[in-house]
Amino acid sequence: MPFIVLPPLQRLEASDALTLRIRLTRNTLPKDRESVFILSLKTIPGQEKNTDSASLTLAMQNNLKLFYRPEGMPEYDVSEFAREIRFISQSGELKVINPTPYYLTFRSLSVGKYPVEKKRAFKNDTAIWGAEVPIIIRCAGAGDLESY
């Protein structure tokens, strides 16, 4: 991982806020396209010593997408960017091809009137990809539809 997150461990009291500094330690990342990482933040709840009643303690984990965009990459207009994405439908599969150097995040995706379930379509329940890697999505109704 070419980043360091500071502070690596922090104690928080109720209603406290935390600011993280994310620093690039060594730049071995591609210079012609974005890179993506998952920043995983865990909370470890405190334990009360004297609890007379039953209680439930939850530990939370938040996973955040961290995008690194190298200096000098051209700015893209979103409408221009969207025109470059290609969708090919055949035999119950939808192939999505992103030839741009930027990652995409789909909030939702449907083939005609058929919604694509993220859990079945995207690895690790995420909807991001980049470069020229085709993503194959199997979904009912993807036969020979022309609208996405």
For residue 1, pLDDT over 50 is answered with yes
Higher pLDDT, 90 or 147: 90
Q: In the predicted model, is pLDDT for residue 129 greater than 90?
A: no
**Does residue 8 carry a pLDDT above 50?**
yes
State residue 133's pLDDT score.
52
pLDDT at 128 over 90: no
Residue pair 31/69 in contact by the 8 Å Cβ criterion: no
Residues 36, 31: Cα–Cα separation, whole Å: 13
71 residue type, one letter:
E
The separation between CA 108 and the C-alpha centre of its own chain, rounded to angstroms, equals 13
Q: pLDDT averaged over the chain?
A: 76
**Residue 6 pLDDT greater than 90, yes or no:** yes
CB 147 within 8 A of CB 112: yes
| Rg of the chain over all Cα atoms, to the nearest angstrom | 21
* Model confidence, pTM: 0.69
- 86-90 and 93-97: which strand pairing? antiparallel
* pLDDT bracket for residue 127 (50, 70, 90): very low
Please give the sequence-ordered ranges of beta strands (E in DSSP) within the chain, or none if there are none. Answer: 3-6, 21-24, 35-42, 61-68, 86-90, 93-97, 104-105, 110-111, 114-115, 128-129, 135-138
